Amino acid sequence: MGKLMLFLYFILSVFPADSTESRRHIHVVRRGSKKSHRGDTVAKIWIEKNGEKNIEIAWSELSSDEEAEILKAIDEHWKELNKLIDQVFAGKKIQIKRIK
C-alpha cells in the first residue's frame, strides 16, 4: 500500500495495482487498524476523470461529516496528492504528508 497522507484518524493511500485503473482514486483507511490491505478500506474516492480534477465518492462507510472533511482535504491537496501518486506508481519512496 502506498500511504500518501495522514488526515485526522484516516490514511489516504493508493495500491500499486491501481495504476492500471481508468480513473485515479484514493482509498481511505481508518488509522489504528492492525491490517494494511483492502479489507480495511472504509471509502474509495475518485479524484479525476479524463485527467481533470473530479472528486467524487465511489463508495463509503463513512459518516457524512467524515466524507465532507475528507473531500475538502483532497480538494485542497489535489495537486500534491497526484504528485505523490505518480511517485508511488513509479516505485519511488515518498514522504507521507500529515495534514490537519
Q: What is the pLDDT of residues 24-46, one digit of tens each?
A: 999 999 887 655 445 578 999 99
**Predicted pLDDT at 49:** 94
Model's pTM, two decimal places? 0.86
The stretch 44-61 carries a mean pLDDT of: 95
Q: How far apart are CA 85 and CA 14, in angstroms?
A: 7
Give me the number of domains the chain comprises: 1
> What residue numbers bound the domain in which 45 lies?
2-99
**Predicted pLDDT at 31:** 81
Cell matching residue 90: 513509479
- Confidence bin at 69 (pLDDT 50/70/90): very high
Whole-number Cα distances in Å, 88 to 69, 72, 91: 24, 22, 5
Range among 18-22, 36-40, 51-55, 91-95 with highest mean pLDDT value? 51-55
